[in-house]
Chain A
Amino acid sequence: MSEAVVPHTTGKPNAAAPGWFRRTLDGDLFYSFRRSRITMIAAGVTLLFFLVAIFAPLLSVQNPFDPAQLQLMNSRISPLWTADGQSPFLLGTDEQGRDVLSAILYGLRISLLVGVLGVVLSGALGILLGLTAGYFGGAIDGLIMRIADVQLSFPAILIALLINGVAKSVFGNKLDETSMLAVLVFAIGLSFWVQYARTVRGSVLVEKNKDYVAAAQLIGLPAPVIMLRHVLPNTTGPILVIATINLALAIITEATLSFLGSGMPETMPSLGTLIRIGNGYLFAGEWWIVAFPGIALAALILSINLLGDWLRDALNPKLR
C-alpha cells in the first residue's frame, strides 16, 4: 500500500480557545458516553441507520417505489444464502418482485423522515404551549393544561388514527403518497406535544421566579424574548430526553399506522407497511418478507431508546 502523506494537525489555532467540539469532548456528557459501551453501540447503530437511509439510492439495487423497476418474474425469491437465493437480492424479494433490502432502506427513509419531522412538529408545538402556559399562568395555563390532560387520557396512537382518518375523509382521493407523508407527520406531531408542554411548563414554573427572570422583566424585555432567550435554554435537558424517546415512539406510531393499513400505501411502503405485507406470507413459509423489516425496525427502536435512556441518566444531576 502506498503511504499517504497526512498533514500534521497539532498546533492549530483552536488550541488557545477550545471550540465547541473540544468542549463537548471534554464535557461530562461525553465522558459518560465513553464510559457506557452499550450506549456507544446504540449510537453507532442509530448513526448507521441514518446513514443508510440517507444514502439509500446508492446502496439499493432498485428503487422499490418505482413500479417500472419491479419485475414480477423476480417475486418471492428467498434470501441469497438459502438454496433458492438469487443475486442481487441479498435479503430476498416480496410478492411483487421488490428487493427486501432496498425496500428496507427506502422504508427507513420514510420512517426516519416521519419520525424526525413528527418530533420537530410536536416539540415546537409542545414547547410553545408549555412556555406560554408556564409563563403566563392563570386562565391560559388552565386551558392549555386541561386540553393536555384530556389528550393524555387517550393513547397517542388513537389520536393519530383519528387525525389520519379525518384527513383521509376530507381529502379522499387527492391523497397521494407524498401528501400521505405530511398527514402522518401531522398525525404524529399533534399526538405527542403534551409531554413537551407539561415538562416545559414545569421547568418554566421553577425558573420564572428566579432572579435573572425578574431582572430581565425589570429592564423591560418583552415576554416572548424572556421566554425564548432566557427561560427556554434552561429547559433543554429534559426536552432533549423527551425528544429522543419520542423519536422512537414516533417511528413506532408510523409503523403501527402503516401496519394497520392507514399509513403508507403498498406502492410506497414504509417499514410498517412491509411488515403488514409480509405478515400474509408467514404461513406459506416466506418468512423473509416480514422478518427483515421487523428486525430493522426493532434494532432502530431499541438503539434510539437506549440512547434516550442514557441521555436521561446522564442529564439527571441526582444520578451523578
Chain B
Amino acid sequence: MSVGRSLFAATLAGALALTVSPASSQTLRYANQGELKSLDPYTLNESTTSAHLGHVYEGLVARGKDLKIIPALAESWETPEPTRWRFHLRKGVKFHNGDPFTADDVVFSAERVRAKGSNFQSRVPADAKVIKVDDYTVDFVLSSPNPILTALWATWYIMDKKWAEANDAVAPTPAAATTPSYASLHENGTGAFMIESHQPGVKTVFKPNPNWWRKPEHNLKEIVFTPIANPATRVAALLSGEVDVIEPVPVQDIERVKASPNATVLTGPELRTIFVGMDQLRDELLYSNVKGKNPFKDVRVREAVYRAIDIELIKNRVMRGLSTPSALMVAPEIFASKDFTRPKFDPDAAKKLLADAGYAEGFEVTMDCPNDRYVNDAAICQAIVGMLARINIKVDLLAQPKAQYFAKVLKPGGYKTSLFMLGWTPDTLDSQNVLHDIMGCRDDPKDPNRGEANLAGYCNNQFDELADKVLVEPDATKRNELIKQAFEVSMKDWAYVPLHQQALAWGVSKKVKLTQRADNMVMLYWATKEGE
C-alpha cells in the first residue's frame, strides 16, 4: 500500500513537473468573440479573418506596427509610367508545402482575387493587366492612374498556383458557400505560421514556419486560437489564465480586467467606423410590410432614421463612454475636418419627416445585425430598434453570428438586407476606399468593383465623379478639399447613418508583450511570452 502510494506521488510529481516545463510557456492561447470560418483568403473581407490569415498568408506588401506599408513578398516596386507598376519579387521564398514562390503565383492570385465569389474583387482593378516579365518581376498595367494601389494590398494574400490547381481550388470560395472547399479547410501560404489543425468554430492551431524568410520576432512554438462568443466566459478565461489574449474585452468588464493581478487591457482609438445603412436601391424592400415602393428611397425617411437615433445615449449607456460619435464615415485619424458635425438628434422632427413622406403610421422593416463582430453590436442594434419604435418604425431585429450575417448581406450573398449595421476600416487607411467601396454606385459598367460593400445601394453620380478625382489627385490640399466635397454630397443625401468609432480593447495576460495596431488586427507574430 505504501509502495503504491509513493508510486502515485512520484507519478503526480512527474506530471506536475511536465506541466510547468518551460517548453509549454511558449504556447500562446488566443480567444476572439468570432470564429474563423474559412481559410480561403478571398472569402471574407473582414479584419479579424484577415488578421488570422495574415499569420499564414502574405501579400506583396504588408503593414508594419505603425500601419505603414512595408515590402513583403515584393522586395521593391516602381512606377515607370503612371499606369504601370513594376514589382520585384523576393527570391527564395517558399510556400509551406515547399513550392517556390514566383511571378506565376502573383498572376494567378490576381486572377483568382477578381473571380466570381471573391469578396476582395476591388483589390485589383477589373481591367488591370497583370504581366509576368520574368520569374521574379510582375507588371500591373492599369487603365487609369492609381497612386494608392499598394495601400489595399496588405490583405491581398498571394496563393500558390500549383497547389490551387492540384487541389481544385482555382475558384475562390464564396462566403455564402454551404459546403467547404479544399482551400477553406487547408492553407498553403508563405507566412510566419502554418496551420497544423483547423476545426471551424472550435479551434485552430498555428505552428511557426521554420523556413520563413523574415527573422521571427516572436518566441512562440504554437498559437491556439479558440472562438469564445460569450463575453463573460471570454473574460473569465483570461482572468483564470486559460487564455493569454482576448479580443475584445466587453466594455463593462474593462475595469475588472485592469484591476486583476495577471492581466491588463490594451486600449486605444480604433479606426473602424460603425454605421447604419438603409437599402435605397431596390424598388421594393426585401423585408418590409411596405409593398410596391421603398420607403428608404425617400430622403426624408432616411433623415428621419438619422434623427431618431440618439448617439450620445448609445455612447453613455451601451458603450459606457468608450466610443466617439462620428459625423463622417471615416475616423478622424483618417480624415479630420472641423467642418462636419453630426445632425442633431430630434425625434419630433423625425416624426414630422415621416409624416411628410406619407408614413405617419410608420412601417415595418427587418434589421440585420451581427452579434459577435463589433463591440456591443447586438446591444446597439437593440437600442436602435427601440429608438426607431418611438417614431413608429417597427423593426424586427435579426442578430446573427458574423458568419451567417456576412454571408447574407455582403455582395456574394446578394446584398440581402433592408436595414443593417456594419463597421468599416478602410484597408487603405484612406477616405478614398470608403468613397469607392461603401458609397460608390453599385453595378457601374465602367468600374464593376465600385460599391462592392455598398450594402445600402447609395448612388449619386456627382459623388462618384468626386471620388474618381480623389483617386488621381496628387496634391494633398486639393485632395482633402475633394474628399470634403464628396462627404458633403453624401450628407445632403442622408446616404448613411454613421454612429461612432469604438475603442480598441484587447485583454492581454501580463506575461505577454504585444503590439496593438489601430486597425484592430491582432498580429501575434510580434508577440512574446515569458516563461512560467
Contact = CB atoms under 8 A, between A and B. Distances in A.
Contact of A73 (B232, B250, B313, B398): B313
Interface in A139-196: 173, 176
Contact of B252 (A97, A266, A267, A283): A283
A1 B336 CA distance: 75
Given A73-B317, A279-B230, A173 B253 contact: no
B157 to A, nearest CB: 31
B235 interface: yes
Contact of B386 (A67, A76, A279, A284): A67
Main secondary structure on A side of the interface with B: loop
Given A67-B395, A70-B386, A280-B230, A173 B287 contact: yes
Interface in A98-122: none
Contact of B383 (A72, A76, A173, A281): A72
B235 A283 contact: yes
Contacts of B396: 176, 267
Contacts of B287: 173
A72 B399 contact: no
B317 A76 contact: yes
Contacts, number: 71
Contacts of A76: 317
A68 B317 contact: no
A284 B385 CA distance: 25
A207 interface: no
Interface in B79-109: none
Contact of A265 (B230, B317, B399): B399
A286 interface: yes
A309 interface: no
Main secondary structure on B side of the interface with A: helix
A96 interface: yes
B385 A267 contact: yes
Contacts of A70: 386
A97 B383 CA distance: 9
Contacts of B387: 72
B24 to A, nearest CB: 27
A68 B387 CA distance: 7
Given A73-B313, A173-B398, A265-B399, A283 B318 contact: no
A269 B529 CA distance: 42
Given A67-B385, A75-B317, A95-B379, A173 B232 contact: no
Nearest to A68: B389
A173 B382 CA distance: 17
9 contacts: A67-B382, A76-B317, A95-B252, A173-B366, A173-B398, A266-B382, A267-B396, A280-B232, A285-B256
Given A72-B387, A283-B236, 6 more contacts: A67-B385, A95-B318, A95-B379, A173-B287, A266-B399, A283-B252
Please name the 6 residue pairs, one residue from A and one from B, whose CB atoms are nearest each other, closest first.
A68-B389, A284-B252, A67-B386, A67-B389, A283-B253, A75-B317
Interface of A: 66-68, 70-73, 75-76, 95-97, 173, 176, 265-267, 279-286
